[in-house]
Every structure is written in structure tokens, then in C-alpha cells.
Amino acid sequence: MKTKIHLSNKFAFVILLFMVSQLLQAQWVKQNSGTTERLADVVMLDSSTAIVVGEQQNIWKTTNSGETWNFIGLPWSFPMNWKSVSFADKLNGVIAGSNVITTTDGGETWEPEFYSYDKNFLSALRLDAKYIYAGDDSGYVYRTIDSGKTWSAEKISAYPIRSIFAYLGPNMSDLPLYALTSHSIIRKNDFYPSAPWNEKELEFFSGLGSEAYSGESCNGGGGSTFIVGVQGDWRAAPVILRQKMSDTSWSSANLFPSPDGELYGVSAPSSSIIYACGSSGLIYKTTDGGDNWILHSVSATQTLHSIYFFNDT
């Protein structure tokens, strides 16, 4: 039996997917996280260890596939809200929100990177022990290449930076790095720091009530990059965009059925298997790299803001 984690928001449940491969059926089961505060993001460090973050300084960790959760206390008395969590491996991670904090021991202890609390960070990405990125609500991306000893800041958009992600393929010499806003995608090559960020408007999210929320490239390389959000021209319709490695433009997936709602999170553990989640318990899955999507039946009706799979088996 394989175990995966998914995060819910409103009533702070974490949902575990128990998949029995012989039956080819998946069941989503609510798990009590131990808090009633809103949770915003989740990451898995291995097949049984996960960390979730949320409002009011909530950081929780499980080492037994979600059966129990332990609160990670921080040595600061004032409350902070966390929006994003990212790990490069089992030890080195970053959390972004009211501040940026980092860990080198698997999330047991955390250190602040900034001592100014006038920023609102929305996204974070840790590529390895040294390279860390964070995006804020003013269109700035912050970058360190020395594990947080020094940081540089660059304004790359007029929109808030909602998601930062990278193509992590077998060829690391040409690594595309992406920053996603509500209406645009911004790309650069991480191994050429002097190269400028290239911002392109996303026409799918240009209409009234339309916006993008999160993006991810397929783990291991060879697959596509996906963006999820909502298109609100006529109604609030969930949207999944795909760009293959050979494509120069984005295409919209044909989602059927397509109930009213928004998609907030996406996880692409392989080039063929991708998940997306959103409002009112929406969960979509593809097993063919995004050509066809299946709407999962889930008992939860809460908004699901984040989803993460450690692998696809």
C-alpha cells in the first residue's frame, strides 16, 4: 500500500491517499491535523514524512504517513502566517510567509532569514542546500546562493509572485526557472544569473475573474509544465494549462466534467501522472501526461489549496 499526502484548507484537515495498485482504485481519507487554523501548503520529504504550514505560526510534521502530527514550535512570540514550503531533500527546506525561514535538519528547527517584517512572501523554492528563492506580493524575487548568508532582490513583475518552480530534469546544465503570477509566467535560466527574466502574459487568465494560482514541471524531466487556476469569463471554471518541452505556447486541458470552481494546487510526480486540486474538494488526475483528466470523487467539500506526491508509485 502506497501513501500520499494532500492538504486541505478551511478546517485544517490533511487528506491521505491510500492506493492499492492491484485494484487500481484510490480512496481519499480525511486526517485530523490537530489545528483549526487555515493550512496553506504541504511538502513530502519521503514516503512517510511530510510538513504542512499555515496561519498563526502553524508548522506540523508527520513521520508516519499522517497518522499523527507534531507541532513544530518556533522561538518567537509574535504570530506569523506561512504561505509556502519547499524542500530540496530530506534536510534542507524553506518556508515563506510573514518572513522566510530555513532548516537544515528536516524541519525540526528553523532560522529566520530577514529581520524586517514589512514583507509578505507568497512562494518559495529550495533547489539545493545553497540555492533558495522566495517571491513576495510586490513582484519581487529574492535569491541566495550561499544558504541564506546573503540575499539579492529583483523586481520581475507588477503582479504578486504566487508560485516559483523549476524544471528538475536529468540535464541540470540548462535549468528553466519559473515564477508565476495571477496573469503571467516569467522564465529565466538559473545557471546564467545575468540573463533577464522574460515575462509573458497568459491569455487564458486575462479575462474578468480569471487568474492563475500555481505551477509545476514534471519531476525527473521529459514531461510538461502545468499551471492551474480559474477562468471567469462566463463562470468560475477550473483551468489546467500545459506546455510540453517542445511547445512555444500553452494549451488548455479539456476538463469533463467541469463543475464550477477553482484549482489552487498541482503536483507532477512523473511525466505521465499529474494531480490538481481546488475548491469544494476538486481533485483531477491524469495518467497520460495531461491528454485526459479524470475528476476524482471526494467526500470533502473544503477548499484544497495544495497537493504533493513524493513519487508516482
As for how many domains the chain has, the answer is 2
**C-alpha cell recorded at residue 302:** 473544503
Full residue range of the structural domain in which residue 252 is found: 202-312
The values of phi and psi at residue 104, to 5°, are -125, 10
Q: Are residues 44 and 120 in the same domain?
A: yes
Task: Tell me how far apart the alpha carbons of residues 66 and 62 are, in angstroms, rounded to a whole number.
Answer: 5
CA gyration radius, the chain: 18
Interacting residues of 135 by C-beta distance below 8 A, sequence separation 6+ = 96, 121, 122, 123, 124, 141, 142, 160, 161, 162, 163, 164, 179
Reference 101, options 65, 67, 51, 66; nearest CA is 51
Answer yes or no: do 132 and 233 share one domain: no
Percent of the chain at pLDDT > 90 equals 65
pLDDT of residue 53: 96
Q: How confident is the model at residue 34 (pLDDT cuts 50, 70, 90)?
A: confident
Res. 59 pLDDT band, cuts 50 70 90: very high
pLDDT at 163: 98
**% residues pLDDT > 70 (the chain):** 87
Is 277 contained in some domain?
A: yes
Residue 299 has pLDDT above 80, yes or no: no
Strand order in the sheet with 237-243: 211-217, 225-231, 237-243, 251-252
**What was the pLDDT predicted at 172?**
53
Q: How far apart are CA 163 and CA 266, in angstroms?
A: 11
The answer to whether position 173 is within a domain reads no
Mean pLDDT across 8-24: 33
Q: Rounded to 5 degrees, what are φ and ψ at 118? A: -95, 5
Cell of 125: 523554492
Mean of per-residue pLDDT scores for the chain:
86
Which cell is 128 given?
Answer: 539545493
In the structure, what pLDDT confidence band is assigned to residue 234 with cuts at 50, 70 and 90? confident
In a domain, 226, yes or no: yes
Is 218 domain-assigned?
Answer: yes
According to DSSP, the β-strands at 283-286 and 50-54 are unpaired
Full-model pTM = 0.89
Confidence band, pLDDT 50/70/90 cuts, at residue 213:
very high
The answer to the question of residue 222 being in a domain is: yes
End position of a domain, from candidates 122, 143, 167: 167
What tens digit of pLDDT does each residue of 150-203 get? 999 999 999 999 999 998 766 555 678 999 999 999 999 876 667 889 999 999
What does the pLDDT look like over 252-279, one tens digit per residue?
999 999 999 999 999 999 999 999 999 9
Examine residue 197 and state whether it is found in any structural domain, yes or no.
no
209 assigned to some structural domain: yes
Q: So what's the pLDDT on residue 8?
A: 40
